[in-house]
Amino acid sequence: MSDLFRDEQRDRDDARQLAAIARENRLNMKALFFTLAIVIAPFLALLLSLELALFVLAAGLLFSTVLTWIGAKQMGPVARSRLRAAALLNFGVFLMVVFILILQIMAE
């Protein structure tokens, strides 16, 4: 009886929607992880070492840059340009952090 009211096209559409939601959830979790890395870095500097904090900060910035750049491809033209600008800004900050990390390592 349940097969009588079953719509295969609707089932395929529902499966596609669920897959898209799952992809979006994974993307959001990655973004949350990288944001936490950036936020936690100063506390690592206070508790452990400046080099470790700079490394964690650089990793978070790099992965956030990549994630933002990839996410920009899925947006409309206005949002895409803003996200790419944000990704370039993140990359600039990443380069500064790596430069400071290299200076810190060479100073020891």
One-letter amino acid for residue 45 of the chain: A
Q: Which domain holds residue 84?
A: 2-107
Within 13 A of 12's CA, how many CA atoms are on the CB side?
Answer: 3
Compute the distance between CA of residue 23 and CA of residue 53 in angstroms, rounded to an integer: 30
Q: 0.85 exceeded by the pTM?
A: no
Taking the C-alpha atoms of 29, 33, 34 and 37 in order, what is their torsion angle to the nearest 10 degrees? 170
* pLDDT, tens digit (0-9, with 9 covering 90-100), for 65-107: 998 898 888 888 888 899 899 999 999 999 999 999 999 999 8
In whole angstroms, what is the distance from residue 93 CA to residue 96 CA?
Answer: 5
Amino acid 24: pLDDT: 75
Instruction: Calculate ∠ Cα 17-22-27, nearest 5°.
Output: 125
- The count of domains in the chain is 1
**How many whole angstroms separate alpha carbon 54 and alpha carbon 64?**
15
